[in-house]
Amino acid sequence: MNNQHTSGGFYFVVFIGAAVYFIQQAHGFWTGVLGIIKAMVWPAVLIYQLLNYLTG
């Protein structure tokens, strides 16, 4: 058995958590939409910053 679907499920749970956090911080409709976009993008920004820090 190959267990390749674990990371997809983990990403989905993290996405939902981030979306809930950003939407709770929103004060209007468009800031809520921006929160959903942030929830989709922040893992990529985090990895970019981590690799940038590690490579120096």
Residue-wise DSSP of 3-38 = --SHHHHHHHHHHHHHHHHHHHH-SSHHHHHHHHHH
Query: Which residue has better confidence, 3 or 20?
Result: 20
pLDDT tens for each residue of 37-56: 999 998 888 889 999 999 97
- For 15, residues 6+ apart whose C-beta sits below 8 A from its C-beta are 39, 40
Range of the domain at 29: 6-55
- The helix or strand, by DSSP H or E, that contains position 5, with its residue range, turns out to be none
**According to the model, what pLDDT value does residue 4 have?**
62
In this prediction, residue 27 has a pLDDT band, given cuts at 50, 70 and 90, of very high
**According to the model, what pLDDT value does residue 5 have?**
65
Residue 38 belongs to some domain of the structure: yes
As for how many domains the chain has, the answer is: 1
Residue 1 belongs to some domain of the structure: no
* 36 vs 8: CA distance, rounded Å: 18
The answer to whether residue 35 scores a pLDDT higher than 60 is: yes
At 29, which amino acid appears? F
Mean pLDDT of the chain: 87
